[in-house]
Structure 1
Amino acid sequence: MRRTKSLKLLAVTAIAALLLQTGIAAAQSNVLRIRPFGDLKGIDPVTNSDYMARNHGYMIYDTLFAMDDKLQIKPQMLEKYDTSADGLTWTFTLRDGLVFHDKQPVTSADVVASLKRWGQRDGLGQQLFANTASLEAVDAKTTKLVLKQKWGLVLDALGKPSSGVPFIMPERIAKLPATESLTDPVGSGPFIMKKDEWVPGSKVVYVKNPDYKPRSDAPSGMAGAKQANVDRVEWLYMPDAQTALNALQAGEIDIFEEVPPDMLTLLSKNRKVKVAPQDSLGVQVVFRMNSIQPPFNNPKIREAIRYMVDQNVFMRAYVDIPALYKDCPSFYMCSSPYYTDAGWVKQDLAKARQLVKESGYDGTPVVVLHGTEAGITNTFSSVAEQLMRDIGLKVDPQAMDWGTLTARRTSKKPTSEGGWSLFISAPTGADMMDPLGHLGLRSNCDSSWFGWPCDEQIEKMRSEFAVTPDLAKRQDIAKALQLRANEVVPYVPLGQLHLVRGVSTSLTDIPRAAIPVYWNIKKAN
């Protein structure tokens, strides 16, 4: 009898252990673990232009419009929108059932406050509001925008997918001055940030928003239905690529963003892992100079950098797979309808050295914000540093992680007081397609991207582009702007890349969009 009871007890214990293991496995299958390219240092996507803050924004917020996989702007939070015959009055109507994470309904007052805050910082938003006579809430669901003059880029501005995304947040949060960073992560998006579990330098956690109401449209790029198909998403910060690779192959993470090219062959041999493009447009790698501090406040030295650069030298130092890189002699993406190679010069190191001598260069060190954790910034910075030495510049590389770099590049102080001269970055192609939304060409002084180029002619052409409806005339303006940019050199393009992610084969329905987003993904048990 005692032996029978013991056997029953063992059986019950074994079943309990099996159920516990099954429960753990089921729980793990509902968690999506991602190694993002960098660390989340701040959660305000308006004051912080770092792409990690943008990606965070897409987890917790939603937008009035979104870009589909054909690069068309479609309604997202809106049931409908209307435009008056003269093109001056735009009316936006919110969908039913939209609520914030604090259970409060999304209203047009939230829309107005959010757009006004965004419009103070974003370049395209600044252009929109410069042409705006009024923006007001008509009723709880209706917002009316009245323009001073017809402006053909309203949808482009409100549906832009990358830097300076016009996310909609609660009015009480959006009323915070655009000079201060918000700390409250309440949005209305498909996921809720678990701020109590956020450990900068380690982990960011999001959970499924049970109140989110997806669109009924099929998913397409950034547009259409956004389904949270997992209960929990964890961003696990791993600055060392080898550690991330080992974690992916061991099944400890599901997605490894920005896999270094030299690891792709190894991943291709693992049947439990697949590799795929990280975004649909690729990135443009940029050599961004600080135009307000020596030595790059000297136009001749910026011109010298133009002659120093051969895109193929930079690209081949990073990747030897031709399908992943492209020599693109333009400030615009090669896929842009505004692509032009007008005014481009070939590498001429002798000419670059001559320009450095003619500039009166006094030996002021070029302080490079050398990002070490991302393969692109690390490799491209190293190549740039050696080439600058070759043309006669003194170089001071300062190694740091990406989060530190993005914080440091906001400083306008002299290099002797913690400022900087140069950083390498890789903005998504969505930010480099046309003159108006272009991250690097904007030259409106203190309101431009870090580096703060200031050129009245470029700004005049950008404004003209905004009110020109004819495509051929816009292309002419884009060409003229490129010629001017080759004269004043706000930055130098170093070529185009397709970033690659490693993905567990247990995942399906990964969005193919202009930037990495994590809704609609399904994870098999």
Structure 2
Amino acid sequence: MPAFPAPTRRNFLLASVALTVASATRLPAFAAPARGGTATLLLSAEPPVLTTIANTAFNSVYVSPKVIEGLLTYDFELNPQPLLAKEWSVSPDGLTYTFHLRDGVKWHDGQAFTSADVAFSVKTLKEVHPRGRNTFLNLVDVETPDALTAILKLSKPAPYLITALASSETPIVPRHIYEGTKVAENPANLAPIGTGPFKFKEWVRGSHLVYERNPEYWDQPRPYLDQLIVRFIPDAAARSIAIETGEIDLAPSTPVPLSDLERLKAVDGIAFEERGYQYSNGVSRIEFNLERPFFKDIRVRQAFAHVIDRKVILNTINYGYGAAIPGPINPNLAKWYDGDLKTYPIDLAAAEKLLDAAGYPRGSDGVRIRINLDYVPSGETYPRGSEYIRQALAKVGVDATVRSQDFATYTKRIYTDRDFDFAFEGMSNLFDPTVGVQRLYWSKNFKPGVPFSNGSAYSNPKVDALLEAAAIEVDAKKRVDQWREIQKILVEDLPAIDIASQPELTIYNKRIADHTVGGEGVSGSLAYAYLATA
């Protein structure tokens, strides 16, 4: 498969060096792909919305970029590449980001795309996007000196920002459609209008989406596909069958039971792609509600760490896919990852003593306390893992009731109602820990009602100070050192127990080519994808 080449010129942001990227051909020359045909993308659950301007929940990140584009895209090393911006530069002090936009780009309704759309979108993301509040925290203004120039002005450096501008993360929406409306409730979130390679056609609730080729796409001759159908298949067994029988061309995020993978690998015409998840970097974790008296006591959390064996979850629940992790960062983010963090050996006797000391002795029935365990309804890993956690805790007298619910109920329970004791969940580190990890531990991001924020209600002034310092540090080595220190404190404080990096695979039919051409993988636009026999 072709992959993005390095830009023609690029200097990395240092204390006194400007980062400048000129326009570049994103793919090397290759034989003309076949034109036409319909490809089918499989999702395990129906997304709640079709844009990510105000909601990143669940599978919305897979559908939004087909229609709504960002300023930049990224190669497999997360180096920025041109998209709606053809050139960009960052000032030596890291406070000014200048983007020169493509000329002649049209919204799907025929209106011209301009810098006013960029300014509106970025300012809106800062206000309503779950992560945009943090990503654009230091944004002061977006200047638009002309229709094809957008200048982001910051009060403090944001060294992660140049990697935060992908279509799924920072979508650029049409100002003329959204201005003056409640963005999160705008009907365009359900029938989007964008600049992307595909136009939205229909949404049959509970069944599928249909996207059609945008014949006026700015990056001709792409896209190559005439039509893209997105099917929702909630049943895991049915997903496996649909893939095996050739009904599906692309199935991202390991959408089948892990126990089925070996069988599917033997099926003619099916292949697997491990790349294309560099932008997400998911981990599984156990998050404690520190507002609960039981979990306020560090000895209780330490006891749980001595009982719950991440290797059992990796090898038995995940079938060996992924990697056990001692802290909050996925090993794929190699420069940030610390594999030598403190761990808690599995020791039931030590756990019993800690629970006794915390004031939770066994009762006459052998039970110390009864609590609830909620798991995120996403694949088989979480319900099966929760059952293991329940059984493991029972050995030390903790009676955990496993609760299941749909996704909307789960997020409301955890982040709005705060009606939970502890949860087994997945979270994305994303492309930089300041964006993907800080949100989970920064006390200022404890925001009831905001999904995927600081659900534990964790607060440590030293961690806050380190997080805030790392968010503006332009010295790359110093910033890595700050994150190493953050990780060390987190494994001592244990607001969560990190378990494993998520096994992320795209299962695809060999008839489709060039679906994964950079770090965003199938969550990119699919503009380059084509059917070998259209």
Q: TM-score by structure 2 length?
A: 0.79
Q: Does 1:155 align with 2:152?
A: no
Higher mean C-alpha displacement, 184-193 vs 450-459: 450-459
**Structure 1 residues 330-386: Cα deviation after superposition (integer angstroms, max 9, x where no partner):** 221223202123333333333333333444459775333335561222222222222
Q: Does 1:198 align with 2:197?
A: no
Which residue of structure 1 aligns with residue 337 of structure 2? 339
Tell me the distance in 1 between the aligned counterparts of 2:288 and 2:428.
18
**Displacement of 1:72 after TM fit?**
1.1
Contact 2:373–2:401 (8 Å) recurs in 1: yes
| Residue 399 to residue 124, structure 1, CA distance change in 2 (3 Å) | closer
Percent identical residues: 22
**Displacement of 1:495 after TM fit?**
1.1
| Residue 240 to residue 460, structure 1, CA distance change in 2 (3 Å) | same
AA in 2 matched with 1:260: P
| Residue 327 to residue 144, structure 1, CA distance change in 2 (3 Å) | same
Which residue of structure 2 aligns with residue 449 of structure 1? 453
**Displacement of 1:167 after TM fit?**
0.6
Tell me the distance in 2 between the aligned counterparts of 1:508 and 1:211.
22
AA in 2 matched with 1:516: V
Which residue of structure 1 aligns with residue 530 of structure 2? 522
Which residue of structure 2 aligns with residue 220 of structure 1? none
**Displacement of 1:404 after TM fit?**
4.8
**Structure 1 residues 284-321: Cα deviation after superposition (integer angstroms, max 9, x where no partner):** 21223334456445544334333333221111122434
Contact 1:274–1:502 (8 Å) recurs in 2: yes
**Displacement of 1:477 after TM fit?**
0.9
Tell me the distance in 1 between the aligned counterparts of 2:372 and 2:388.
15
Q: Does 1:482 align with 2:487?
A: yes
| Residue 93 to residue 263, structure 1, CA distance change in 2 (3 Å) | same
Contact 1:117–1:177 (8 Å) recurs in 2: no
Contact 1:285–1:425 (8 Å) recurs in 2: yes
Tell me the distance in 2 between the aligned counterparts of 1:442 and 1:210.
45
**Displacement of 1:442 after TM fit?**
4.0
Contact 1:120–1:178 (8 Å) recurs in 2: no
Contact 2:135–2:435 (8 Å) recurs in 1: no
AA in 1 matched with 2:124: R
| Residue 357 to residue 74, structure 1, CA distance change in 2 (3 Å) | farther
Contact 1:368–1:422 (8 Å) recurs in 2: yes
| Residue 435 to residue 426, structure 1, CA distance change in 2 (3 Å) | same
Which residue of structure 1 aligns with residue 400 of structure 2? 395
Contact 1:38–1:402 (8 Å) recurs in 2: no
Q: Does 1:405 align with 2:424?
A: no
RMSD: 3.1
Q: Does 1:383 align with 2:388?
A: yes
Which residue of structure 2 aligns with residue 272 of structure 1? 269
Aligned positions, number: 475
Tell me the distance in 2 between the aligned counterparts of 1:49 and 1:295.
32
Which residue of structure 1 aligns with residue 226 of structure 2? 231
Alignment partner for residue 39 of structure 1, among 32, 46, 69? 46
Q: Does 1:112 align with 2:119?
A: yes
Which residue of structure 1 aligns with residue 65 of structure 2? 58
Contact 1:436–1:463 (8 Å) recurs in 2: no
Q: Does 1:368 align with 2:373?
A: yes
Alignment partner for residue 327 of structure 2, among 308, 326, 330? 330
Which residue of structure 2 aligns with residue 288 of structure 1? 287
Which residue of structure 2 aligns with residue 5 of structure 1? none
**Displacement of 1:521 after TM fit?**
1.9
Tell me the distance in 1 between the aligned counterparts of 2:345 and 2:521.
31
State how 1:85-104 maps to structure 2 within 5 Å: 85-104=92-111
Alignment partner for residue 78 of structure 2, among 71, 76, 95? 71
AA in 2 matched with 1:205: V
**Displacement of 1:180 after TM fit?**
3.6
| Residue 317 to residue 85, structure 1, CA distance change in 2 (3 Å) | closer
Contact 2:55–2:130 (8 Å) recurs in 1: no
Which residue of structure 1 aligns with residue 171 of structure 2? 167
Tell me the distance in 2 between the aligned counterparts of 1:85 and 1:251.
52
AA in 1 matched with 2:522: P
**Displacement of 1:44 after TM fit?**
4.5
Which residue of structure 1 aligns with residue 348 of structure 2? 349
Contact 1:325–1:496 (8 Å) recurs in 2: yes
Alignment partner for residue 126 of structure 1, among 123, 126, 133? 133
| Residue 317 to residue 403, structure 1, CA distance change in 2 (3 Å) | farther
Which residue of structure 2 aligns with residue 503 of structure 1? 508
Unaligned ranges ≥5, structure 2: 1-35, 362-367
AA in 2 matched with 1:168: I
| Residue 352 to residue 231, structure 1, CA distance change in 2 (3 Å) | farther
**Structure 1 residues 448-490: Cα deviation after superposition (integer angstroms, max 9, x where no partner):** 6151534233222111112222233222211211122123333
Higher mean C-alpha displacement, 141-150 vs 309-318: 141-150
**Displacement of 1:86 after TM fit?**
4.0
